[in-house]
Amino acid sequence: MTRETEIRDALRAWIVKTNGKIQPDQLDDETPIIERRIITSLQVMDLILFLEKLSNRSIEVDTLKVGVFKNINAIYNAFFASVIE
């Protein structure tokens, strides 16, 4: 299993667990997690903490760009892709 797959799986598992209602097969890498409120505004702060832990670096909320939490692909590209490549 590649590091990328591990990260995507970890993201999916965290989202499924945090949401509490959605099944893993209902969540692909393009599913809009904010628009569908799979992750709510209150959970976004927890998501940021989780991403800090997973990426092992701190995240400055003020520097985040529009769309970074749109779906798993967007999260992966924003916080992990450049580090792994």
Partner 1 sequence: MSKPEDALNLGSLDGFRWLDNGQSALSGNLLDLFRNLDRMFLSWSRECNASEYRFPTFISARDLARLDYFRSFPHLVTFPIVLKSEEENLKRFSEGSTLNAEGEVTLTDIRGVRDVLTPAACYHFYVQFQGEKLTSVKHVTTRANCFRREAYYLPLQRQWGFAMREIVCIGTADEVKEFLSRYQDRCERFFKRINLTVEFQNATDPFFNPSKNPKYILQKLDPVKTEMVYQTGLAIGSINFHRNYFGEAFQISRDGKEAFSGCVAFGLERWIYALLHHFGFDQSTWPRLDSPEEE
Q: Which two tokens stand for residue 2?
A: 């590649």
Q: Which residue in the set 45, 81, 83, 84 belongs to the binding site for partner 1 (CB under 8 A)?
A: 45
Q: Which residue in the set 20, 61, 82, 85 belongs to the binding site for partner 1 (CB under 8 A)?
A: 61
52 lies in the site for partner 1, by CB under 8 A: no
Could you give the CA distance from residue 71 to residue 18 in angstroms, rounded to a whole number? 15
36 lies in the site for partner 1, by CB under 8 A: yes
Could you give the CA distance from residue 77 to residue 25 in angstroms, rounded to a whole number? 21
68 lies in the site for partner 1, by CB under 8 A: yes
Could you give the CA distance from residue 49 to residue 55 in angstroms, rounded to a whole number? 10
Residue keyed to tokens 């529009």: 66
- Write down the number of H helices and E strands in the chain: 4, 0
Contact segment (CB under 8 A) with partner 1 among 7-15, 23-31, 39-47, 50-58 equals 39-47
What residue ranges bind partner 1 (CB under 8 A)? 34-37, 41-42, 44-45, 61, 64-70
